[in-house]
Structure formats: C-alpha cells, structure tokens
Amino acid sequence: MIVLTSDVRVEKRVLHFVFENYVAAVERAGGLPLHVPPLDPARVPQVLEIAHGFVFVGGEDLDPHLYGEEPDAHYDPAPADRQAFDMALGRALLYTKHPVLGICYGCQLLTIVSGGARA
C-alpha cells in the first residue's frame, strides 16, 4: 500500500483530493494507492504501520518560517492542518526505511524535515 497525501482546497467546503495521474502512476508501478487526508498528527504511527511507501503530493506553499524565512508576496499557504500532519509524517519517516517521493510541495517538505533550507 502506497500512501498518497492529500492536497486540500478550501472554498465553500473543504475538499481533500489526489490527482488521478498520481493514483495511476502508483498503480502502473504495481502499488495499491491509499489516499490519506490530513489527520491528527498523533495518528502518524498508525499510518506508518499500514503503508509500504509514501508520496507527498504537490500543493500550496509551506510556511516559510519553517525554514527561517519570511513570507513574500507570492506566498500561497497550504492549510495549517495539512502542514501539521505532513510535517509530522515527514519527520517520522526519517526514522524508517519506507521509500518516500516528494512532488513540488512534497520536495519542499522533505527538504525542511531533513534540515535543509530554501536555496
């Protein structure tokens, strides 16, 4: 089972989603995709138990304060619950042997949790 984290849109209602091309790519590689929306970070150990790999999908921006910078005029923040869950999951994955792929937002997240900064 390959966990796909959730992109989030907040309009009239909150929408958790994964683009079909991410799901199809996991299936083509022989994986079983599992879409996981932002959960309470305390649930991270349960998610780690059921998954064989992880994909942090793209989305809006992570809070620049996480890597010691201030927001600029182009800052488009990801919802706080997504950032909290994804950061907790990313940090926990540093101590496992699970394979992880980050796409856009996901690359930024993996850089931050591993101690990197914006270039």
Q: What is the pLDDT of residues 66-101, one digit of tens each?
A: 888 899 999 999 999 999 999 999 999 999 999 999
44 in any annotated domain: yes
Q: Kindly report, residue by residue over 90-99, the tens digit of the pLDDT.
A: 999 999 999 9
119 in any annotated domain: no
27 in any annotated domain: yes
81 in any annotated domain: yes
pLDDT at 117 over 80: no
Count of domains for the chain? 1
Indicate the angle between helix axes 80-93 and 105-113, nearest 10 degrees.
Answer: 50
108 in any annotated domain: yes
Q: Which residue segment(s) compose the domain that 9 sits in?
A: 2-114
24 in any annotated domain: yes
Domain CATH number, residue 31: 3.40.50.880
pLDDT at 119 over 80: no
3-class DSSP string for the chain: CEEEECEEEECCCEEEECCHHHHHHHHHCCCCEEEECCCCHHHHHHHHHHCCEEEECCCCECCHHHHCCCCCCCCCECCHHHHHHHHHHHHHHCCCCCCEEECCHHHHHHHHHCCCCCC
39 in any annotated domain: yes
